[in-house]
Structure 1
Amino acid sequence: EGFFGRLKTEMFYLREWQATTIEQFIQALDSYIRWYNEKRIKISLGSRSPLEYRESLGLTT
């Protein structure tokens, strides 16, 4: 629930989607999910992105 609420607030509600194709929507959604999982800075992760945090733990390949 938390992720989808944030997704709607930060991505979906900020745009008009009527003129957007399915392909454009999928690309925008993919970009948001990649940003959310890899680049956003989280205070609870020591002011690092989730990807940086996983790398610091040796959990990425």
Structure 2
Amino acid sequence: AEHGVIRSMSRVGKCIDNAPMESFWSHYKDEGYYGYEFKTYEELVSSIDWYMYFYNYQRFQTKLNSLPPV
């Protein structure tokens, strides 16, 4: 409040605001994290950057009529 920042939060037990991010991280862990060994922080960041592009532009999703989110 002191800096004019307002957080976006639903009511308790209604985590709609976080659903897209929770879904992304869940898929990333299954498809791009588990089973991989990152030797540096930069490798991990690069992996996340790559997966963000892949998830938004190339990963087809059934709930979107077999289209990527973008």
Identify whether the pair has TM-score above 0.5, normalized to the shorter chain.
Answer: yes
- TM-score (norm. length: structure 2): 0.57
RMSD: 1.4
Distance 2:66 2:30 in 1: 22
TM-score, reference length from structure 1: 0.63
Tell me the equivalent position of 2:7.
none
Q: Matches of 1:42 and 1:2 in 2, distance apart?
A: 12
More helix by share: 1
**Structure 1: stretches of 5+ with no match in the other structure:** 52-61
Q: What pairs with 1:18-57 in structure 2 (closer than 5 Å)?
A: 20-51=39-70
Uncovered stretches (5+) of structure 2, i.e. residues with no partner: 1-21
Hey, which bits of structure 1, 4+ residues long, moved more than 3 A? none
User: In terms of Rg, which structure is larger?
Assistant: 2
